[in-house]
Structure formats: C-alpha cells, structure tokens
Structure 1
Amino acid sequence: MSLNAEGVEREELEVDVLVVGAGASGLACAIHLKRLLTAAGKGEATLLVLEKAEEVGYHVLSGAVMDPKGMQELFPDWRERGCPVESPVTFDCVEYLQANGKKRRFAGALVPPPLRNHGNSIVSLFRVTRWLKDQAEALGIDVYPGFAGASVNYDGRRVTGVETRDAGIDRHRHQKPTFQPGMNVRAKVTVFAEGTRGSLAKGLIAKLALDLGKNHQLYETGIKEIWRIPEARARELQGSVIHTLGAPLGTSGYGGGWIYGLAENRLSLGYVVGLDHPDVKLDPHALFTQWKQHPAVAGLLAGGEILRYGAKTIPGGGYFSMPKLYGDGFVLVGDTAGFVNMARLKGIHLALKSGMLAAEALAEALLKDDTSERVLASYAARFEASWARTELYGVRNFRQAFQSGFFTGLVDAGLQQITGGRGLVARRTARADHATRWPLAEARLVKPAFDGKLALDKLTDVYHSGAVHEEDQPAHLVVRDPDLCVTRCTVEYGNPCQHFCPAAVYEWPHQDAEQARKAGGVVINFSNCVHCKTCDVADPYQIIEWTVPEGGGGPKYIDM
C-alpha cells in the first residue's frame, strides 16, 4: 500500500535501469552491469539507484562476518582498493550457555563445519556499503539517497518502474505548505534490492504469485549492539568469532547469539530468534537482554559502554522459500529474494553474487532491447548454474527442520552434512511464522530486569539506533483492521505486538475493551521504528502493514 496523495501531477524520470535499494546486492548489480555495458559499447545506458535512507548505509545491518567469495568476484583487488575490514577471523568457537550461568566451549575440530570462519573477515556492513557506493559513483552511476519507493507501477503484469514517496503530508493526510509530490521513475527494467521483507517486493510477489509452489519464507529477528570495552580485553578478542547456543532460549525455539571482536576496542554482539517461536509473548529484545546478562557475555562487557543498537529481520527459509526471481521488466536480488544461508549465518557474499548474476541477465536483455520475462529468465538459469545455488541447495532443509522441534532440527542438520543437504526428508515444508502461535494461556516467556547499564530497555536502545522520523506525517505502520485488535487479539493472543517489536513502537495501555475502542486501539509510536519489519512478519492476523515513511526517515546504523 502507498501513503502518497492521490490525483497529484507528478514529474517523470526515464532511465534504462532502476535499482531500488543501495545495499550490497543493489550496488553490486549496478556496478557489474555498468562494467558489462561499457565493455559492450553501451556505457551511455542510464542506471539509477534509489535508497530510502537519508544516507547510503544508514539502513543496512548485519553481524557481520563476510565470506570473501562474492567480493572477490566483484573486485578481485578488493583489498588493494581499500574495502574496509574490521579484522580477519583469527579464532572461532561455539559456546553452549547453560541456565546455571556456566558454559561449554567447542573449538577447533569440534566447531560444526558451517560455523568455521577461518579465511573470512569481520566487517561493518555500513562501511562496506558506503565503500561500494563510492565505487559505483566512480563509474558514473547515480545513487540518490532519501528517495523511498512508495509503489510499483505496472502495465498489465509488466513492471514499468516505481513511484517515490511524497514529502510534506501531515498526520491527517493533508498536504502541508512544504508538500513535494514523489516522482514516477520509468525504467526498462527494475531491480528490487530492498532488503528483507521489502514493502514493494511484498506486494509484487503477492500480485504476480511469485511464491506459488514455494515454501513460506521463514524469518528471524536479529538484535545487535556495538560496545566499546576495556583495551586489554578488546585486544584479546579482536578477530574472534564466538557463536552461542542454549540460554536464554534453551530448546524452546530456533536462535542463538554472536560475539565478534572488532577493531578500535569494540565488540559486535547480537541475538537471533526465529519468529516461528510459538510463544505469543516472544520478545527478541528481552531475549537479547537476558543473553547479555549471562555471565559468559556479561563478563566480556564489564567496564564497557554501548555505542550503537539496531534490529532487522532475516529471511532464513532457504532455497525452497525463494520466490521466482524475475518477470516482465524486473528482477529480485539479495535479501529481497532470500539469498541467505542460515546454516552458516551468512548472506553478504550471496547478496553480492545475486546482484552480479542479475546484472549479467540485464546486460543481455538490454543489448537485445528486450527486458521481457522470457529473456530475463536467464537470471534464474545463471543462478541455478552458480556456486550460490550449490551452497543454498546444500542447506535447503536446514531452517525448516527446526519447526519439528529443536532436537529434531539439530539431528537433521547433522544428517544434512552427510546427505548433501537432504537430511531426514527430501523436501521439508514450512508453516508461516505468524501461523505458529500458541494461545495466550500457554505463554511462558518473561521479561528481564533492566538496570540501565548492561540491561537496557527498548527506548534506551532505540536512542542508540539514531532513529528519527518526521513526526507530522501519517504513521507508516498501518493496522488495517484496528477493531480486531480489541475484539479478538486481546483475548486470543494478548496483543503480541507490544512484545515482539524491538523498538517499543506498539503499546497497549488500555484497561478494558471499551477504553481501547475510545483510544483507537493500539498506540503506535511510529517515530521509534527501526525498520526491522518484525511486525509485518509476526502479527498473527497479518493486518499490520509496514510501508515506507517519508524518504530519509528511520535509523542511522553508523558503523553497524
């Protein structure tokens, strides 16, 4: 859905290729395509990259440990060019955190093969993305931050471009004196590189049934903080990659934590939990906080201070959850298309590769002056013949196996290592995340105690995300049936949006249904939103619609 004004005259901008999203996949696509077209004598083709964040990199978030394979293909001399790296991985291990405060460490040969990281690099995806933007602009590619795509333009089933978000509409949907209408960007082909659960791609996939015959995509929410810690401890940890299982989630669902040693006396730490967890009081931020309170983590943070906070969803469903990658006038890349290997907890190299594969198909189509579905099908063919497909097919049943229980998932994951990714079942199916909820009476998860130091509440963490939105605009989080929140959700699920949102966007302060109706239902503090899309995924009735706010609004994930 779009919050744009209707019946407004809009300027039109025509380009050959429009890329929506200036993350790793979108920029890799633009860079590789520009080089291919230039080599073919078509360097005058116009490429435009739109980014909804105020600055490129502000809305990207990852752990992040990068497999260099994708970057090596995009830029064989990436190190010499100065691609920013926090540290090469010098040590990795897996720790099982016990509820009694103890831990068990597995290192060396005991680390599961998917979690072995020697040869990889710890990076800030913010810094890498900013560097990619510089490489793109050096090639003459236009990159426009602060322009959010509000809706997709169609001619029948063909995508013809996007309409960008209006600026200057007040909370009552009236035009302010500063009103500026969005523009229609027309393109021969559009690349959707919006990241996880992109609002444009979500509508596109539904409209054109691109997920027909596919598994439901499964999502996780990852919570991340950057801390500065005492210098001596930071020196010991720099280059270390530690992944954790066990507490606080235990065996009740899919999830775990990470600790990565960065340069400049900093730690990247975070916790990921599957949104198919059945407890309606699932609160990823609360689990992250409880994880930090475990002695194994708290000891590493002692004497430190938080620098940054962020959250995002991760499309972890794998190969069988990936939508159709192309159609008339468009392709999908990166997280938008599900290019994530959850078994390895990796996606950057796959995002880069997806962008490059798409670029090769686009170059062929533009040289033929034919961007039809028939010609763009070569993107899928290239993917199926690539190492990216080999990698994703090798873990095709990984994430779904955990929907049969934690221990079943572990056993199946082990069998997949020796059966080429098959495991116990040739093709596992998956239930949608929102369809796995238990009734409210069966909720078990509890909140932590916050102390303002190690255990920070949501509002304190949101402050460290840098999230800012224009206050006088329509809420970009739209509840399509507000009365349902009162008539059913309170009784059946206890209004879980107040729990699962990691940014305290949703509040339910009402004493009873009558008071809730008078107050208009759930209270939405949209200015807190960190654009993670958890609400769009986890709402049990699927009536929360995340759409783009005015361009430039949102978090500022500097150095994340």
Structure 2
Amino acid sequence: MANVTREELPFDVLFVGGGPAGLAGAIHLKTLAQKKGMEIEVGLIEKGDSLGSHSLSGAILDPIALKELIPDYLEKGCPIESDQCRDSFYFLTKNRSFAVPFTPKYMHNENCAVISLSRLTRWLGQIAEGLGINIFPGFAGTRVLFGEGGKSILGVGTGDKGVDKAGKQKSNFEPGVDLTARVTVFGEGSKGSLIREIGEKMRIFSIGMPQIFETAVKEVIELPETNPFLTSEITVLHTFGYPLGMETKGGGFLYKMKDNRISLGLVVGLDYEDPLLEPRQMFLKFKRHPLIGNIISGGKILQTGAKTLSVGGYYTMPMLAVDGALFVGDSASMLNSQRLKGIHTAMKSGMLAAEAVIQAFEKNDFTRKTLGAYEIGVEQSWINKEHYQARNFTQALSQKGILKFMHVGAQYFSNGKGMKDPISIKEDSATLKKLSKNQIEAAKIEEKPEYDGTLFVDKLTGVFLSGTQHVEDQPCHLLVHNTVICETQCYEEFRNPCTRFCPAQVYEIVEEGPDQRRLVLNPSNCLHCKTCEIKDPYKNITWTCPEGGGGPKYSIV
C-alpha cells in the first residue's frame, strides 16, 4: 500500500517460516553462537496464528537430525506418537488388497517414529523461545526486501493488517513491518510466494528441470476402543494402486498414533493428465476400500488438512545461497520422495545453514562467497547421499506403463542412476490433456460421493475440521489474472479443473444461462496448500499470503 510509513525492525538473522527447517536452524544457530560467545539476535516469523498451525505431514520421522540437534530430545518431552514402526506395504485393486512380500530398503522404518508435525513444531518452538529466539506468529512475509539492483536480499516485509476488500484502510489498520537482517533464511515450505519472487529476480531455479509437486489430503481419525486394529502389530501401512491406478503417481498411508488415533492420507502426484481427477474424492475412495474401511469402521474424524509437497529432489534444488540469504527445507526441494520423508532433511538443512551463518559472522561477510559454505555443507552431508540416491525416483514414477517400473528397478541396482540420468519431466501445469466429448458426457453420469457427516465428509465440512479461518473483509489473496479464460477456454477444454484439484472448494463456476458462466472465489476456505498455482494449466492463478494469522489451525495432523 503506497504512502504508508513502515517501521523497520532489525535482526542479525531472520528465519522466514516456523516449520522444522526454520526452527531447527534457529535453535542450532543460537546454540552455536552461545558456545562461541557471540551475540546474535535471531528472529523467526510464521504466517500461521501459532507455531504448528500450518504444519501438516504424515508423518514418519527419521530422528537422525533431531538427535544431532537435541541429543536428549526424549528426556525433554519431544512428542512422539509411536517409536515402534512395523511396516506393511499393499497393492490395492478396487475390492482387494495384496501384501507386497518385498519392501524396498529405502522404505524401511524400523528406527523411525510416528509423529504429529504440528505438535513437533510447537515443541521445537518452546525450545527456541527458551534460547531467547524472537518468534512472531501471525506475521506473513509478503515482500522481499532487495538490495541495490536486486542483487542481494536485505530482509522481508510483512503484510498490512486491517485492509478491506477494496484495498482501503479499516479502523483497525496496522501497517506491515520491514524486518531487516544481515542474513535471511527462507523456509516457507512448498511453493513459497517469497522464493517465487526471488526466483523471478535472481534466477535461482534450474531452467532445465522444473519443480514438481504432489498434493496430500490427510485426516486424523479416532477409532473405537474395541477396534481390533488398535491391538494389531501394524503401525505403518503404505499402499499403491487403487484408487489412482498405475498411471497416476501417488499412494496411501495409515499410521498408528496415541489415544486410539490414526493418521490417514492419500498423496497424488500433480503431473496427472485427467482434468476430471479430484484428489479429495480419490481420498474418499481410498477410505472406502475394504482394507482401509475395515480399519476405520466406527471411527470419527478429529481433524483434516491438505498441503503440497515439493518432490523433485536433487535435480530441482535451487541455488541454496545468494548475497544475504539462504534457502532451506521444502523451499530448497529437500524432501526425499523415495523414502517418503522430508522432516529430517529439512531440519538438517536448517542446521547446516546455521553453521554457514556462523562463518559469515566470524568473517563479517554476508555475501554468497561466505554463505556458499552452506551449499558445500549440504554436498558433504548425508542429505546429499540420500538425495543423490533418489535423484531420478519421482521422475521415474512420472513415466507411463511398464517403463516406470523398468526405471525404478534399474535405479534400485545402480545407486539411483537407472536407465537415464537425469530423466526429463514436464512442469505440473503442462500435463493435463484436453477433454473429449465422450469424457464430458461420462462425467455427467459419474456416481456422486456419499457423506455421513462423521467418517465421510464433504469439502466444506473438511474446511471446518481443519479450523480454517480468515478475516472475511480483506483483499483476495488468490490472484486470477484473467477470469475470461476460466469462463470460456478453460471450461471448454478442461471443465475448470480448479473446482476439483482444490481440496477446499475455493473455486466455483456458477452457470448464469446458456453458455454463460462466472467464476466465484471463496478465499476464506483456503487451506494454503497452493495446488491451484501449481496445477492451473494456463498459469492463471497466483497464490499470495492473506492477512497474517489466517488459514488452518492444525494441532494434531
């Protein structure tokens, strides 16, 4: 907003994002600084209304990084749901399930733990605050503060609060703050809006290998005490096949938690081709499969959520250091899709970034020349070993037919190289195929999902169960650049896939007469998953941060 005076709040180091990467980095930085007798003022901003409120994952945690960061994490009360991970792996057809006798070594979870990422981040936040780290929940970074010529980064500006839909100041208006720092560490998570801005200006992403993503839909379900699954030996269950089939990348998961609860979810690769595919409806089909349906029978949904995962891995990692800034976690494509894990790599990336920051303060040099030690640290760490092994994995799964299994099999016996290295891929927005008349007619008679309000709920009930809230009277944070495309070309070619790939019913097409329709947005439903920006076939949607504190209020997912 023009002509607004903004306060400047200086820090030595600013972490953007209160996820595992940012929190681990801040904790490690403060710990190292104290050991060296260095006074470093550390700030951390989080767009959710509290730490953990925007944190969602499966999640199975490899504790390797957590042990390095906090060796006595169990004694300090780290919230663990289960440390007994017994794996089971199933191939599903529509009505049957087949236990896979051979589980690939990279999917073994014997030494891992089932956790709630939301609870873990809140606990890490308590550790961070105890070290004197300044944490600011409800602060949404909306602007990157660039140095002269856009060649360096000086910090982040937060969004204004108290602005109405027309962009005018309300009575409760509060201008955003310019948070400056010698080093800014970006850990926004998947498809961050700030790192997008940096990418456009500083060209940190690879031109030849696009970022690729998956969308995960998840619920925490409470089971009756008499449910036999609660006493079974299975604690970790993964599936592939139905309902996605063999041509669409993804699969299901079920993890046993404390207090008669389970974590249940479905992950869908966003390089799918069918415009009529709806990730959330696929999740409901997954829940109705006999294998899963028998387990969750009599249960009750406690919390729901959705998010995207950056799964491109090794070849899609951006430049990790620029003058004045570092990139960690999902912002830096740190997730290992082969192991279905990213929390441990996110935490380690934050810790390695902290070590590079210490070197920068020791040398009083905050350019890429010194901060580049972070890239070297990643290259020499176990992160690189994991990522290099998995460098072509998700790309192989994007292939069609028997070819994908040939690629995966060859990679298993060749340290990840496979039959082609690297495997080229398309951007997720470019994979949808235009609908034929037969597909459109078939969609009209497709069986509609049934809801019971307890175990099978519609999208709007899911939004309610996520705790999602936004200030209603604020500018729309979903920028649709050309609604005419939505109402004409996109409808005719794809039947508006945004109405399906969005898990929260943010996008609706309202029929207003013969060949007349209008796009209606419900931004207050938004779960901040950013699937819309990733998958829109015309790149017609840009996701921006709404007023700080808005969005889901996850607590146990």
Q: TM-score range, shorter-chain basis?
A: over 0.9
Indicate the residue corresponding to 2:193 in structure 1.
199
Q: Which SS does the other structure have where 1:29 is aligned?
A: helix
Aligned AA (1:430):
I
1:67 Cα deviation after fit: 0.6
Match of 1:557 in 2: 554
Q: Pick closer, same or farther for the CA change 1:355–1:417 going to 2, 3 Å.
A: same
Q: Secondary structure at the match of 2:335?
A: coil
**Is the Cα contact below 8 Å between 1:191 and 1:331 reproduced in 2?**
yes
Compared CA separation, residues 533 and 177, structure 1 to 2 (3 A)? same
Q: 1:358-437 maps to which residues of 2 (within 5 A)? A: 358-437=353-432
Give the match for residue 450 of structure 1: 450
Judge which range, 434-443 or 85-94, deviates more: 434-443
Give the equivalent residue in structure 2 for 1:349: 344
Alignment of 1:294-305 (within 5 A): 294-305=289-300
- Residues 87 and 239, structure 1, Cα contact 8 Å, conserved in 2: no
Alpha-carbon deviations, 1:53-90, whole Å to 9, x = none?
00100000000000111111111111122111000134
Contact 1:470 1:553 in 2 (8 A): yes
SS of corresponding position for 2:66: helix
Contact 1:33 1:360 in 2 (8 A): yes
Q: Give the superposition deviation at 1:206.
A: 2.1
How far off is 1:411 after superposition? 2.6
Letter in 1 for 2:104: P
| Residue 214 to residue 351, structure 1, CA distance change in 2 (3 Å) | farther
Aligned to 2:205: 211
Report 1:120-131 matches (<5 A): 120-131=112-123
Q: What per-residue deviation string (whole Å, max 9, x for no partner) do you get for residues 408-461 of structure 1?
A: 223322221110000110211211001011002257885651222433211111
- Post-superposition offset of 1:366: 1.5
Distance in structure 2 (CA, Å) of the matches to 1:364 and 1:169:
41
Q: 1:237: Cα distance to partner? A: 4.7
CA distance in 2, matches of 1:12, 1:327: 22
SS of alignment partner, residue 415 of structure 1: helix
Between the aligned partners of 1:192 and 1:212, the Cα distance in structure 2 is 18
Question: Partner letter of residue 175 of structure 1?
Answer: Q
Cα pair 2:206 2:316 within 8 Å, conserved:
no
Which amino acid letter does the alignment assign opposite residue 400 of structure 2? G
Question: Which stretch shows the higher mean deviation, 73-82 or 334-343?
Answer: 73-82
Judge conservation of contact 1:238–1:260 (CA < 8 Å) in 2. no
Q: Displacement of 1:207 after TM fit?
A: 1.6
For residues 22 and 447 of structure 1, the distance between their equivalents in structure 2, rounded to whole angstroms, comes to 41
Question: CA separation in 2, counterparts of 1:133 and 1:407?
Answer: 46
Mapped to 1, the partners of 2:405 and 2:31 lie a distance apart of 44
Shift of the 237–497 alpha-carbon distance from structure 1 to 2, 3 Å rule, reads farther
Partners of 1:366 and 1:284 in 2: CA distance: 46
Counterpart in 2 of 1:283?
Answer: 278
- 1:523 aligned to 2:520? yes
What's the offset of the Cα at 1:196? Answer: 0.7
Alignment correspondent of 1:29:
25
In 2, Cα distance between equivalents of 1:237 and 1:198: 40
- Counterpart of 1:274, as a letter, is G
**Alignment of structure 1 residues 139-158 onto 2, 5 Å:** 139-155=131-147, 156=149, 157-158=151-152
Match of 1:114 in 2: 106
How far residue 213 of structure 1 moved from its aligned partner, in angstroms, is 4.1
What is the CA distance between 1:14 and its match in structure 2? 0.7
**SS of residue matched to 1:140:** coil
Structure-2-length-normalised TM-score = 0.96
Q: CA deviation at 1:359?
A: 0.6
Alignment partner for residue 7 of structure 2, among 11, 19, 38? 11
1:198-230 Cα offsets, whole Å, 9 max, x none, are 111111122211113451111000000000002
C-alpha distance in 1, partners of 2:274/2:513?
A: 23
Which of the numbers 22, 38, 56 marks the counterpart of 2:51? 56
User: Which of 135, 159, 168 is residue 165 of structure 1 equivalent to?
Assistant: 159
1:506 counterpart residue number:
507
Q: Identical aligned pairs, as a percentage? A: 43
Runs of 4+ in 1 over 6 A off after TM superposition: none
For 1:459, the aligned partner's letter is L
Which residue number in structure 2 is paired with residue 542 of structure 1?
539
Provide the TM-score with structure 1 as the length reference. Answer: 0.95
Seen in structure 2, the aligned counterparts of structure 1 residues 454 and 406 have a Cα distance that, compared at 3 Å, is farther
| Gaps in structure 1 of 5+ consecutive residues | none
Deviation at 1:491, TM superposition (A): 1.3
Residues 221 and 467 of structure 1, relative CA distance in 2, 3 Å threshold: same
Which whole-Å CA distance do the structure 1 matches of 2:9 and 2:362 have between them?
A: 21
Q: List per-residue Cα deviations over 1:481-526 (Å, max 9, x = no partner).
A: 222212321112211100100001000122458643xxxx411100
For 2:218, the equivalent position in structure 1 comes to: 224
Paired residues, number: 548
Mark the runs of 5 or more structure 2 residues left unpaired by the alignment. none
Deviation at 1:239, TM superposition (A): 6.2
Alignment deviations for residues 118-171 of structure 1 (CA, whole Å, 9 cap, x no partner): 111000111110110011111111111010001101012111011101000001
